Structure 1
């Protein structure tokens, strides 16, 4: 009977592994995201010529936001294979790259985050928070810290996931359950957060570029989805805790070697560093408050507002950067990692050296987005798509659900959120604008779908690393093990998060400061 049970279990794993092998083969045959943008750019060049030669154009009515008057607009396809089009490709290549909205915002933000990561501040903060948590709250805190860790980009994958295993092990619980809880928060809840992180200005910049296809003056702020993502953090934490405690850990059973490892304590240097980083943060906070709180504060606009197109909001990216940079420097000095200004420069250089792949991706993505806009294909497709959706009656909640599912499905085969959104935004943002949805709402719906399936696709860049972590505690663990463990999180995140967005839609709540659901 026991042998039969074991055999069945192995057969089940083999069957699931066969499906995952198929997914992996399909994914491995896909080109690199940078290559995808090159291919798409070439396709756009030829399609633009065909559309221009056949006289493709659209007429639509839009509202002039300055005069608040409607006007009829006629947009024609522009070819990139004419003499003017070829000149545009060559003369605007550098401009397309340097003016691409996400480029500067991410690089500036990563200066500060990189400093905090290189000095060890982020890792120490994660460990201290987890170590000081009561046993009954440990699952929730691990998931919550996973969600919060996306502020520091990939730090959560490298630090928090193996730490989650150690924490659970120290409490006599199954370490793979701890890994799963951390992984669910870090990757499944990637878009949610209590704070504004590097993902917000990145996606907001791409959305801004896409919205300009319809309204050249439109700007999506980094805080565009803050209210929704703030509440989403608690939802993801609650769902992640429930799945870990009620589904994943009971399925894994008791761990035989639960007393073999202990949690790693902070060193005296790390404790001193955290103390001084707190002082640095307090100094910076007082400085920012002095610029914002007074009625005539320097970072307020001419009407004394803080939120909106104000110096404070326009400067949110360098503020985020300094939010991490200053405490990071204080931590490094106190812990001994920084001894002079050369160490500061070296830490910044190391953090920025990791952005090489991002720069390559952005160069080709920026050309694709620029071509899409210059040829007017984005506007034409948006208007035609909006007309089609209107003719089918597919609007409101059914449209939202379908878009979330499409985003989640595409995420199974293309891991980079920025790469996906750079492709999808020029199509869906104008399309949704044409039927009355704001770019901020479209962006929020994409973030829901994009995050939920991160944890079940072998194409996610850190997936192999997580499998290797699991093998430390179960030598038979593989891709099938990880997928079967994470699938309940993915499904319930997708259902729960979609329901929250639909509730938000029904109540007409603002998504962020000055960002509504409708145009």
Structure 2
């Protein structure tokens, strides 16, 4: 399925200008190559002028401060690193392995017809008016699965919308906004909470060694943030984004044509039997994962780790879990409907799934080298440290300071996508600074989380941004970088605004952020 050029009317307003201008840019692969050249030039200038920053946590072996200096990407060491480590840089690109593994299984579930039947049945049972909020809520809750949510929930959101006769890119946008824009929002604490509060605890120890880390220290706040983001995503998807996308036109040559069933299709006896077999296969896979968590030795539970980190192997196993789940369910469904007659059909379906990712692989090669070289230059690290130092020296009123922290985090997020990496750099300065101003470590962490998620969805430097573009191009081959940016900007702006307002109201009323976690702190 794709959208014909005649259906892509020129949109008016600022979003239309962003889309039109962005789509006139070169292919994203070459944009990354130009960005690499730009970073190389900046790194040379920064190295020559001695741009540097003092690392807030690390010291030299002799106890002196660790100075982070800008490194020229044209130095002999970095040129050698680029050429020698090129295969490693590409293959170690963070999302690449997750995407390839999950999509191998998802390709079988999709091409066997399972996804179409399941989504068609689900759409019939759910009111069409609630499709968007259901997708958005599942996306926000699904980010407990971290990376797996990007490669599972977001493309499935497009399939769900297509099955309901709605524009699939609107579903992808809603899923992307929920998984990535609402990355810090959820109905319950998860691995992100353990990760962030572990960093917060290290920062607190510089002032208060008796402070006890509470993984649920932001539970109430992130739960309310989830409920607040839900109507925002719902309204923007249905009233802003989907009307802009226009009518979807079926293209018989599309790799997804014939796979998606509409909500009006009736399941045949074979399809109904296939869904029963897929359900049994799903129960078996889920049972195996439960067994691996409770059986002697608990392979997926790290009993020797601190309590907040014991579930880490389980979370990390979800990518493999989704691969096996989709493979088993798709295979079981296909044996009943006749779409899978032998193991050769399974291999063919997996191969076709990889063919759909061919463009993403090329794009990932360029993106991987840009991200790696940007890190080698130390420019992102220096920018983050100096930005936090400016806030520390400002002596602003508390409400304004919280606002600046949220906005600064969102801005830094455009350059450094990892939530833990940014917090590891900012927390040693921000947390003690706010504690001295009477603001609790839990509130500092909550303010950081607001800014961290909202701009995830508009920066091409976010590792999964090229993948989302590839998902969209499966439905509309002319959907470019500008189209994706214009689509996600309304979500980013309103999620940042609503999250910022929530943080201000929360600290103004002094509401508890979680069990035993207040907004104020007394040294």
2:458 & 2:425 partners in 1: Cα distance? 24
Greater RCO (Cα-Cα under 8 Å, separation 6 or more) = 2
Which residue number corresponds to residue 140 of structure 1? 130
Structure 1 residue 131, shift from structure 2 partner: 0.5
2:10 & 2:473 partners in 1: Cα distance? 20
1:288 & 1:345 partners in 2: Cα distance? 25
2:99 & 2:385 partners in 1: Cα distance? 31
Structure 1 residue 338, shift from structure 2 partner: 0.8
1:35 & 1:325 partners in 2: Cα distance? 35
Over residues 146-176 of structure 1, what are the superposed CA-to-partner deviations in whole Å (9 max), with x where a residue is unaligned? 664766356446533344347xxxxxxxxx9
Residues 63 and 71 in structure 1, CA contact (< 8 A), matched pair in contact too: no
2:152 & 2:229 partners in 1: Cα distance? 18
Which residue number corresponds to residue 292 of structure 2? 291
Counterparts in 2 of 1:461 and 1:151: CA distance versus 1, 3 Å: closer
**Which of 50, 54, 58 does residue 53 from structure 2 map onto?**
58
Residues 123 and 159 in structure 1, CA contact (< 8 A), matched pair in contact too: yes
Structure 1 residue 77, shift from structure 2 partner: 2.5
Residues 402 and 504 in structure 2, CA contact (< 8 A), matched pair in contact too: yes
Residues 58 and 383 in structure 1, CA contact (< 8 A), matched pair in contact too: yes
Structure 1 residue 144, shift from structure 2 partner: 0.7
**Which of 308, 312, 330 does residue 328 from structure 1 map onto?**
330
Which residue number corresponds to residue 265 of structure 1? 266
1:281 aligns with 2:287: no
1:351 & 1:128 partners in 2: Cα distance? 24
Over residues 201-226 of structure 1, what are the superposed CA-to-partner deviations in whole Å (9 max), with x where a residue is unaligned? 9x99xx99xx9xxx9xxxxxxxxx99
1:78 aligns with 2:79: no
Structure 1 residue 19, shift from structure 2 partner: 4.8
Counting only pairs closer than 5 Å after superposition, residues 16-35 of structure 1 correspond to structure 2 as 17=12, 19-35=14-30
Which residue number corresponds to residue 122 of structure 2? 129
Which residue number corresponds to residue 448 of structure 1? 454
Instruction: Give the match's secondary structure for 1:189.
Output: helix
Counting only pairs closer than 5 Å after superposition, residues 334-373 of structure 1 correspond to structure 2 as 334-373=336-375
Counterparts in 2 of 1:240 and 1:406: CA distance versus 1, 3 Å: same
Over residues 315-369 of structure 1, what are the superposed CA-to-partner deviations in whole Å (9 max), with x where a residue is unaligned? 3321232232221221122222111111111111111111122222221222122
1:432 aligns with 2:426: yes
**Which of 166, 178, 182 does residue 189 from structure 1 map onto?**
178
Structure 1 residue 285, shift from structure 2 partner: 1.1
Residues 195 and 226 in structure 1, CA contact (< 8 A), matched pair in contact too: no
Instruction: Give the match's secondary structure for 1:78.
Output: coil
Over residues 168-193 of structure 1, what are the superposed CA-to-partner deviations in whole Å (9 max), with x where a residue is unaligned? xxxxxxxx9xx898577445435359
Root-mean-square deviation over aligned CA pairs: 5.2
Counterparts in 2 of 1:432 and 1:194: CA distance versus 1, 3 Å: closer
Which residue number corresponds to residue 399 of structure 1? 404
Counting only pairs closer than 5 Å after superposition, residues 294-305 of structure 1 correspond to structure 2 as 294=295, 296-303=297-304
Single out whichever of 345-354 and 226-235 deviates more from structure 2: 226-235
Structure 1 residue 490, shift from structure 2 partner: 7.8
1:499 & 1:320 partners in 2: Cα distance? 37
Residues 173 and 237 in structure 2, CA contact (< 8 A), matched pair in contact too: no
2:298 & 2:121 partners in 1: Cα distance? 36
Counterparts in 2 of 1:243 and 1:105: CA distance versus 1, 3 Å: closer
Structure 1 residue 445, shift from structure 2 partner: 3.8
Counterparts in 2 of 1:453 and 1:268: CA distance versus 1, 3 Å: farther
Over residues 7-50 of structure 1, what are the superposed CA-to-partner deviations in whole Å (9 max), with x where a residue is unaligned? xxxxxxx9972655533332123233222221222222222222
Counterparts in 2 of 1:442 and 1:278: CA distance versus 1, 3 Å: farther
Which residue number corresponds to residue 308 of structure 1? 309
**Which of 20, 23, 31 does residue 36 from structure 1 map onto?**
31
- TM-score for the superposition, normalised by structure 2: 0.63
1:230 & 1:330 partners in 2: Cα distance? 37
- TM-score for the superposition, normalised by structure 1: 0.63
2:385 & 2:152 partners in 1: Cα distance? 38
1:58 & 1:33 partners in 2: Cα distance? 32
1:226 & 1:124 partners in 2: Cα distance? 36
Which residue number corresponds to residue 164 of structure 1? 164
Structure 1 residue 422, shift from structure 2 partner: 6.6
Over residues 276-295 of structure 1, what are the superposed CA-to-partner deviations in whole Å (9 max), with x where a residue is unaligned? 11000011111111111236
Structure 2, gaps ≥5 residues long? 1-8, 140-149, 204-217, 244-261, 432-443, 461-467, 478-485, 515-523
Instruction: Give the match's secondary structure for 2:326.
Output: helix
Residues 450 and 500 in structure 2, CA contact (< 8 A), matched pair in contact too: no
Counterparts in 2 of 1:17 and 1:342: CA distance versus 1, 3 Å: same
2:506 & 2:324 partners in 1: Cα distance? 33
